[in-house]
Amino acid sequence: MEEDPNDAWHAKPGPADPVLVRAVLTAARSKAPAEALEEVATDAYEAGVTPLGMMRACYAAQDTIVAGAPEGSDDPAYDAVLDLMDRLTGFCPPGAKLEPLPPK
């Protein structure tokens, strides 16, 4: 069964845009990761990236963060990406979900 590009909730890891993955990583490691990640997601949606594409970039960013962290350590960037994923899927307070722009 093919994945719905607009269904972030059921997204599974898969091929991700490397430019978007780098943007997510940079934002997650910034001084204000929540705001920076929201901007990355909003800009990506404005550029036509689907919720599935955003989620895949987040999964890839998390994999990169985990791969570079010492064993047993917590990286705040990982949690920042996880918080973004919650907002992409709607697993967040009302009004905080990040939605793609409606088609023109």
Within a domain: 27: yes
CA atoms within 13 A on the CB side of 103: 2
Q: Say which residue the tokens 């929540």 belong to.
A: 34
The count of domains in the chain is: 1
* CA 75 distance to own-chain centroid: 16
Q: Whole-prediction pTM value? A: 0.89
Mean pLDDT of the chain: 91
User: Residue 35: inside a domain, yes or no?
Assistant: yes
Mean pLDDT of 2-9: 77
- Residue 20 is encoded by which pair of tokens? 């978007």
Residue 12 lies in a domain: no
> Is residue 102, in this structure, part of any structural domain at all?
no
Q: What is the pLDDT of residues 20-71, one digit of tens each?
A: 999 999 999 999 999 999 999 999 999 999 999 999 999 999 999 999 888 7
Domain that holds residue 64: 18-89
Task: Kindly give, in sequence order, each residue whose CB lies less than 8 Å from that of residue 71, ignoring residues fewer than 6 positions away.
Answer: none
Residue 9 within any structural domain of the chain:
no
